[in-house]
């Protein structure tokens, strides 16, 4: 084994260890309840760390990722898929828990409004920085740049939601992870993928999936 091969192998081993700690270890520890923490602060701290790594290690500035000048068909594409997905999401909730439909809007309109305002900034943007911008750049030596990366990103995005202790959140975020990952692969735009994520996230809370996401977050806050 020559020096270059040794260096590449060493790099991959380090990345694997880092990947396991960040994307498997952290959610597992939080889900197990060993260290009760506030989820949003942890998410924000991870996002800051990932952003600094992209800046210093890969010379990517946040401005490079926050591009809004994109082909109009990319915006139309995410809107078209959302329009098709929305009734499917409603039907799925009606099948598993019909009494929850629009429950947050009807019973707690102030909380719903707060979620609509705060969720895109405090949750969506940090998640997309971590699970798309950072993940796709940092772990390319492990997953490659094609379907392996897409599946890997969706899998860890889904696994991160085990902290809520329910299967709908894990299933829905895996599907969402595939959608968001594909958008990021096509455009490398943090703005576009965050808008797409926010559309689905706000729909999730509006339709009534709050008990699988929002209620779980609130329980973690009060551990």
The per-residue pLDDT for range 191-208, each reduced to its tens digit, is: 999 999 999 999 999 999
CA 65 – CA 133 distance, rounded (Å)? 8
Q: Is the entire prediction scored with pTM above 0.75?
A: yes
**CA–CA distance from 93 to each of 82, 154, 157, 168, 206 (Å)?**
16, 21, 21, 9, 12
Mean pLDDT calculated for residue range 106-132: 93
Neighbours of 124 (CB within 10 A): 22
* Dihedral, CA of residue 69, residue 73, residue 76 and residue 82, to nearest 10: -100
pLDDT over 90 percentage in the chain: 71
Check whether 2 has a pLDDT greater than 60. no
Summarised one tens digit per residue, pLDDT across range 139-167 is 999 999 899 999 999 999 999 999 999 99
d(CA 32, CA 56): 33
Work out the pLDDT band at 37, boundaries 50, 70, 90: confident
Measured in Å, how far apart are the chain's first and last C-alpha atoms? 51
What CA–CA distance (Å, rounded) separates 47 from 65?
A: 14
- Strands of 64-220, DSSP E: none
The residue behind tokens 């039907």 is 91
Instruction: Report the 10 Å Cβ neighbour count for 150.
Output: 20
CA distance linking residue 64 with residue 59, whole number of Å: 10
User: Are 182 and 48 within 8 A, CB to CB?
Assistant: no
């Amino acid at each position: 084994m020559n020096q270059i091969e040794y260096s590449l192998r060493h790099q991959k081993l380090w990345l694997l260890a880092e990947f396991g700690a960040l994307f498997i270890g952290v959610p597992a520890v939080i889900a197990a309840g060993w260290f009760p923490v506030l989820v949003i602060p942890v998410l924000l701290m991870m996002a800051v760390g990932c952003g600094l790594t992209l800046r210093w290690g890969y010379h990517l500035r946040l401005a490079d990722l926050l591009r809004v000048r994109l082909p109009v068909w990319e915006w139309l594409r995410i809107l078209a898929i959302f329009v098709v997905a929305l009734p499917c999401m409603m039907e799925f909730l009606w099948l598993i828990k019909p009494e929850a439909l629009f429950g947050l809007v009807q019973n707690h309109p102030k909380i719903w409004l707060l979620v609509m305002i705060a969720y895109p900034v405090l949750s969506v943007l940090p998640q997309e920085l971590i699970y798309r911008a950072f993940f796709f750049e940092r772990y390319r030596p492990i997953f490659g740049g094609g379907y392996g990366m897409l599946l890997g990103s969706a899998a860890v995005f889904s696994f991160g939601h085990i902290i809520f202790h329910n299967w709908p959140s894990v299933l829905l975020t895996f599907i969402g992870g595939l959608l968001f990952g594909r958008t990021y692969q096509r455009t490398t735009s943090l703005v576009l993928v965050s808008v797409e994520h926010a559309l689905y996230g706000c729909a999730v809370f509006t339709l009534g999936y709050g008990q699988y996401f929002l209620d779980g977050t609130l329980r973690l806050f009060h551990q």
